């Protein structure tokens, strides 16, 4: 599912393209231009939040907690959690969380990386919305999906401000039975 309309197009126009960053041949989608505009930032949070409600509201799409991956995912995930009135759970690189954790490795283009989550961050059966700024290849979010499920969380969806559709992350996450929502697609 993707968001359409004039609002999404306005957000798309505000995002700056930075050629050859972080390396030659890549066009980086710089969201700092969106973050510094309070109207655009607010609209992006609203669009990431729409359709999801706290489970106490007893509506479909209800969530108990929002999970996000460092670092830019924290910006959007914590704001969405606050908007929905639910808790926020950070997923971080190894060694950054102070309590006992579960670790999940995942494949990068050249090598591997890993993410961690506190072992007590999600209770069995809690409904989880994963939020991040960009869906690219899906490796990071795929690892996050595995961590959430390892704790017994039920994933409602993964929501992204930007989806780089040409990189195939949606297909990868759909193979993990993770519904995808993106505000903007490139």
Domain boundaries, the chain: 6-185
pLDDT at 60 over 60: no
Question: d(Cα 115, Cα 130) in Å, to the nearest integer?
Answer: 14
Question: d(Cα 116, Cα 95) in Å, to the nearest integer?
Answer: 8
Which fold is adopted by the domain 6-185? Rossmann fold (3.40.50)
- Which residues form the catalytic set? 72, 109
Kindly calculate the radius of gyration of the chain based on its CA atoms and give it in whole angstroms: 16
For the chain, what percent of residues have pLDDT higher than 90?
86
- Give the mean model confidence (pLDDT) for residues 130-157: 97
Q: What is the mean pLDDT of the chain?
A: 93
Q: What is the pLDDT, as a whole number, of residue 58?
A: 46
Q: Please, which pLDDT band fits residue 66 given cuts at 50, 70 and 90? A: very high
pLDDT at 59 over 70: no
Condensed to tens digits (0 to 9), the pLDDT of residues 28-52 reads 999 999 999 999 999 999 999 998 8
Q: Please, which pLDDT band fits residue 2 given cuts at 50, 70 and 90? A: low
The residue ranges of DSSP E strands in the chain, in sequence order, are 16-19, 27-30, 53-54, 62-63, 65-69, 87-91, 101-108, 111-118, 127-135, 154-163, 180-185
* Residue bearing the bigger pLDDT, 16 or 53: 16
* Residue bearing the bigger pLDDT, 151 or 111: 151
pLDDT at 161 over 70: yes
- Give the mean model confidence (pLDDT) for residues 56-69: 78
Give, for 83, the enclosing helix (H) or strand (E).
helix 72-84
């Amino acid at each position: 599912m993707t968001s359409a309309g004039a609002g999404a197009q306005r957000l798309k126009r505000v995002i700056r393209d930075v050629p050859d960053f972080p390396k030659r041949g890549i066009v980086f989608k710089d969201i700092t231009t969106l973050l510094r505009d309070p109207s655009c930032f607010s609209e992006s949070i609203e669009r990431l939040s729409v359709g999801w409600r706290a489970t106490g509201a007893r509506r479909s799409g209800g969530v108990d907690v929002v999970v996000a991956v460092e670092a830019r995912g924290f910006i959007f995930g914590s704001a969405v959690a606050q908007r929905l009135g639910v808790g926020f759970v950070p997923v971080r690189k190894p060694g950054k969380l102070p309590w006992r954790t579960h670790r999940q490795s995942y494949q990068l283009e050249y090598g591997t990386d890993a993410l961690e989550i506190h072992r007590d961050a999600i209770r069995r059966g809690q409904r989880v919305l994963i939020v991040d700024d960009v869906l690219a290849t899906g490796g990071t979010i795929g690892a996050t999906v595995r961590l959430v499920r390892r704790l017994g969380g039920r994933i409602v969806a993964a929501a992204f401000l930007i989806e780089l559709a040409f990189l195939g992350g949606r297909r990868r996450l759909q193979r993990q039975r993770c519904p995808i929502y993106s505000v903007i697609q490139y």
